[in-house]
Amino acid sequence: MVKRAVANHGLDPGKVSPVIGCQEPWHYRNDMEFTFGESGEGEFALGMFPRGYHYELVNIEECFLQSPFVSDFVPAFRRWAQSHGVEPYINESDTGFARLLRIREGKRTGERMVEFVTTDDSEASFQEGRCSARDIAEAAVEFVRGFADEFGKGDQDRQVSSIYWTRKHVAAGDPTTWNEECLWGTSQLTERLHLPGGKRLEFGIHPRAFFQTNTFQSEVLYSTVLKAARLHPDQTSATRPSTIMDLYCGTGTISLCLAPYAEKVIGVERQQDAVANARRNAERNSLDNVTFVEGDVGHVLDEDGELAGVDPELTIVDPPRGGLQKHAIDQLAALAPSQLVYVSCNPDTLAENTAELNDRVGYRLGKVQPIDMFPQTEHIECVARLTRI
């Protein structure tokens, strides 16, 4: 698939290396979201939509993508909610209370966050009556804690470290908001990444914060980025790049991974919450050579932008599936860094953008390394190195 995308845009498919597979293709996900609603038979459901369906859920009895804990916990939480008269939210009629159950896991730390997402109604049906929404949320907390105590029996793999209640507000004409409240445990989930040279990074993850869903394979991805960028632990300050720019940096994970191997890293991201999270994680890891700039990539780089005049030796881009937008390509072409590493979750837009940058600036496509971040799916991540001729 990657070779075909590259060839379709006039590039050399021989540059595509064999895929780096995932050592453990099962139970790898650290984040899953399950939806409340109704099954095709009109029964209470907590599960997922089959491909192409938007209304009829399939109840999940066993999950092979997240940890075995989830296979026990999700059906148990469904039975608790149903037996206590909790009404699932039905989108078509805009009725009900329970929206989502989200489970995030620290694969390196063993921590686990359970998030119960509801509407923002002040009261709802519960135990053949009505009571305050907070009372329902607190009852859910007691069930989760009891489940972990009963089934955990000291087993770290079955522990829960934090429980959130989140009220999601959705109304025509209003922005969608998420009111998150930690009702028990720690306010964030801690996860770690292991990098080449024995380096370790620690991340504090809040309910809405983005983090790669495959922790162990993320370490492979970021190690591949470092390799493509020609960065390694043995470099001295004299041989390290003076400035690296990380565009579309999100919560700053790649920027933070680059920081121990460079003199200075500048991350650019338009999402305000993501930038705030990135700055917190930089402080958490005592990395004072990373700067995060909030703003649109194209605008930040133009002649009146905050980073006008910055001349990075190396630039990393990790755009969304749609790839680099026209104004971003314009500014990247004007910046014309000598070395460019492109991280992509979409081979088609990777190839399309690379071909355009080659035409405009004269970038030569080097190695393209596909990485299987999402086993059991057709999705593929790629890291490509481009060098200006």
* Catalytic residue list: 345
124 touches 134 (CB < 8 A): no
Asked if the structure places residue 200 within a domain, the reply is no
CATH code of the domain in which 142 resides = 2.40.50.1070
226 exposure class (CB count in 10 Å sphere: 0-12, 13-18, 19+): buried
The pLDDT value recorded for residue 327 is 83
Question: 36 and 10, same structural domain?
Answer: no
Question: 233 and 185, same structural domain?
Answer: no
Asked if the structure places residue 197 within a domain, the reply is no
Q: Tell me the pLDDT band of 236, cut-offs 50, 70 and 90.
A: low
The pLDDT value recorded for residue 65 is 94
Question: 233 and 343, same structural domain?
Answer: yes
Asked if the structure places residue 326 within a domain, the reply is yes
Question: 73 and 93, same structural domain?
Answer: yes
Judge whether residue 151 has pLDDT over 70. Answer: no
Which of 156, 158, 161 minimizes the C-alpha distance to 148? Answer: 158
pTM recorded for the entire structure: 0.90
Structure tokens at 210: 């983005």
CB proximity list for 378: less than 8 A, separation 6 or greater: 1
What whole-number distance in Å separates Cα of residue 101 and Cα of residue 116? 5
The pLDDT value recorded for residue 213 is 94
212 touches 205 (CB < 8 A): no
Domain count, the chain: 2
* Dihedral-angle region of residue 250 (phi above 0 means left; psi in -120 to 50 means alpha; beta otherwise): left
Question: 279 and 132, same structural domain?
Answer: no
Question: 273 and 174, same structural domain?
Answer: no
Q: Which helix (H) or strand (E) holds 219?
A: helix 215-228
Question: 10 and 39, same structural domain?
Answer: no
Backbone phi and psi for residue 13, each to the nearest 5 degrees, phi listed first:
-65, -15
Asked if the structure places residue 228 within a domain, the reply is yes
Average pLDDT over residues 53-79: 93
Domain edge (last residue) among 129, 157, 190: 190
Question: 357 and 238, same structural domain?
Answer: yes
Domain edge (last residue) among 139, 155, 190: 190
Question: 329 and 293, same structural domain?
Answer: yes
The pLDDT value recorded for residue 4 is 97
Lowest-pLDDT range of 116-120, 161-165, 223-227, 294-298: 294-298
CATH code of the domain in which 300 resides = 3.40.50.150
Segments forming the whole domain that contains residue 336: 2-23+214-388
Question: 381 and 265, same structural domain?
Answer: yes
pLDDT one-digit tens code per residue, 305-325? 777 778 888 999 999 899 998
Question: 291 and 175, same structural domain?
Answer: no
Average pLDDT over residues 338-347: 94
Q: Which helix (H) or strand (E) holds 178?
A: strand 177-185
Asked if the structure places residue 204 within a domain, the reply is no
| Cα angle 232, 317, 279; round to 5 | 75
Question: 230 and 123, same structural domain?
Answer: no
Which residue is it, tokens 């992509």? Answer: 344
Asked if the structure places residue 202 within a domain, the reply is no
Domain edge (last residue) among 151, 175, 190: 190
Asked if the structure places residue 106 within a domain, the reply is yes
Asked if the structure places residue 206 within a domain, the reply is no
Percentage of residues in the chain having pLDDT higher than 90: 71
